[in-house]
Amino acid sequence: MSNLLTTSDEILASARALIMTGGYNGFSYADIAAVVGIRKASIHHHFPSKTDLVRTLVMRYREDAEAGIAGLEQRVQDPLALLQSYAGHWAQCIEDASRPFCVCALLASELPALPPEVAAEVKAFFRFASAWLTSVMERGAEDGSLTLSSEPRVEAEAFMASVHGAMLSARAYGTPEVFATILAPTLQRLTPTAAR
């Protein structure tokens, strides 16, 4: 086995790509098998049920996000720059079509139809993202690097909603630039007048 990725990782990666395009009910074990190059039954060896597979996938997705955020926080301290990096990250993912949609945003839209175990993981992702953005808003309000017009918590939720809504519009119009176009004024509003 000269491969860098384990089979289980390949299964997760292809499932993630498939979910990003069509959601939970938009892919099957047969689809994954075709991409990875193994048989359906072999997938069941790694993930007994589809629920197991997607729950693991979402857990891993959140862990990756947590690691990404931790890394970002080490490189960047300024709250405004953090928000810009976050938005910029997604702008790039959408524009180069590498990760055209947030897995958890897509799954959240079909939340009532998801297996409860998966739904719980999706909710956990939202809570994590919200908590991080709230902490960024709090730091920005404190050191004056962000101009908030509401409490940090509300500002964080509104920011996350803009990101998700902008993703949706970019997909609906088929024009990736729309994402950056929508985020630009959102970020500008948070920028102190002195820094403009």
Partner DNA sequence: GACAGCCTTCCTACTGGAAGGTAGATAAAC
Partner DNA sequence: GTTTATCTACCTTCCAGTAGGAAGGCTGTC
- Residue 116 as a binder of a second copy (CB under 8 A): the answer is no
- Residue 168 as a binder of a second copy (CB under 8 A): the answer is yes
Contact 143, 79 (CB under 8 A): yes
Contact 15, 54 (CB under 8 A): yes
Among 5, 113, 120, 131, binds a second copy (CB under 8 A): 113
- Residue 123 as a binder of a second copy (CB under 8 A): the answer is yes
CA dist 172 and 121 (Å) reads 26
Contact 107, 96 (CB under 8 A): no
Cα torsion at 49, 33, 112, 66 (round to 10°)?
Answer: 90
Name the residues that contact DNA, by CB under 7 A: 6-7, 27-31, 37-42, 44-46, 48-51
**Is 27 or 86 the residue whose CB approaches DNA more closely?**
27
Contact 93, 99 (CB under 8 A): yes
Residue with structure tokens 């790509």?
Answer: 17
- Residue 169 as a binder of a second copy (CB under 8 A): the answer is yes
Stretch that binds a second copy, among 35-43, 53-61, 76-84, 161-169 (CB under 8 A): 161-169
**Is 37 or 185 the residue whose CB approaches DNA more closely?**
37
Which of the listed partners (a second copy, DNA, none) does 23 bind, with a CB threshold of 5 to 8 Å by partner kind?
a second copy
**Is 65 or 76 the residue whose CB approaches a second copy more closely?**
65
Q: For residue 42, count CB atoms less than 10 angstroms from its CB and return exposed for 0-12, middle for 13-18, buried for 19 or more.
A: middle
**Is 11 or 94 the residue whose CB approaches DNA more closely?**
11
Which of the listed partners (DNA, a second copy, none) does 38 bind, with a CB threshold of 5 to 8 Å by partner kind?
DNA
